[in-house]
């Protein structure tokens, strides 16, 4: 069987989620870089992803898009450590956290805070401080929900690393690089402990993006 191919830029959080899954499973793969930061999404990527996003994925003629579908496929199709809890409650908790990240955390944290604080200046523009201020209550609300969900667990969905952690970590990598993160995380010891542990994984080092 051919190695899987992941299409997207290493700087994308959702691409990194899929790469983390591939690294945690130890799956040889190819990353085909697709850059969209300086302009439009390239046509060949829109052909792979009808909503014009990254990542897209292909394995032996099987094409997929949407990071959570890709990471679940990687976990189930390849040998290596299981990245999804086997019990009903653990699996539901993992799915809940992935959904919270997609629905309530990514938008305010990445699309608003990180884009304004980090990406706009990198592209030669200015941060929109009003947009950042407007996003912060929603960032805090999402982080508070994640703090409640992790509770005393080592990992977001329980006592083992799961796809929930791989979905959250790329968001945290950018979030914690903003000055707004420290005060928001100050009263969230569970997330603080989790992020310290997450950063030490080889998969995080191997997928570190070079942005800027």
Ligand X SMILES: N[C@@H](CCC(=O)N[C@@H](CS)C(=O)NCC(=O)O)C(=O)O
Binding site for ligand X (CB under 6 A): 12-14, 36, 41, 52-54, 66-68
Residue 184 CB burial class (10 angstroms; 0-12, 13-18, ≥19): buried
Instruction: Give the nearest distance from C-beta 212 to ligand X in angstroms.
Output: 16
Rounded CA gap, 93 and 89, in Å?
A: 6
Listed in sequence order, the residues at least 6 apart from 34 whose beta carbon sits closer than 8 Å to its beta carbon are 7, 8, 9, 41, 42, 44, 45, 54
Nearest residue (CB) to ligand X, 22 versus 67:
67
Q: Give percent helix, percent strand, percent coil of the chain, each to the nearest 5.
A: 55, 10, 35
Nearest residue (CB) to ligand X, 146 versus 188:
146
> What are the CB-based long-range contacts (under 8 Å, 24+) for 182-186?
184/136, 184/139, 184/140, 184/143, 185/143
Nearest residue (CB) to ligand X, 14 versus 155:
14
Cα 100 to its chain centre, rounded Å, is: 12
Nearest residue (CB) to ligand X, 106 versus 194:
106
Nearest residue (CB) to ligand X, 77 versus 154:
77
Nearest residue (CB) to ligand X, 53 versus 93:
53
Q: Closest CB to ligand X belongs to which residue?
A: 53
Count other Cβ atoms within 10 Å, centred on residue 66: 17
Listed in sequence order, the residues at least 6 apart from 178 whose beta carbon sits closer than 8 Å to its beta carbon are 113, 114, 117, 118
């Amino acid at each position: 069987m051919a190695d899987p191919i992941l299409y997207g830029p290493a700087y994308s959080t959702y691409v990194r989620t899929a790469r983390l899954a591939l690294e945690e499973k130890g799956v040889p793969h190819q990353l085909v870089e697709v850059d969209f930061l300086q302009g439009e999404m390239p046509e060949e990527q829109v052909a792979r992803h009808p909503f014009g996003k990254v990542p897209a994925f292909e394995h032996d003629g099987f094409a997929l898009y949407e990071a959570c579908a890709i990471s679940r496929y990687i976990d189930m199709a390849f040998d290596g450590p299981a990245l999804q809890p086997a019990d009903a409650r653990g699996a539901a908790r993992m799915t809940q956290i992935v959904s919270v990240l997609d629905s309530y955390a990514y938008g305010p944290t990445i699309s608003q805070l990180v884009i304004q604080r980090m990406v706009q200046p990198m592209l030669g523009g200015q941060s929109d401080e009003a947009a950042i201020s407007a996003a912060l209550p929603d960032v805090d609300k999402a982080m508070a929900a994640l703090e409640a969900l992790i509770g005393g667990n080592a990992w977001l969905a329980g006592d083992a690393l799961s796809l929930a952690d791989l979905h959250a970590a790329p968001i945290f990598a950018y979030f914690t690089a903003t000055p707004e993160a420290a005060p928001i995380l100050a009263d969230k010891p569970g997330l603080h402990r989790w992020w310290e542990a997450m950063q030490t994984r080889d998969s995080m080092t191997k997928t570190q993006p070079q942005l800027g």
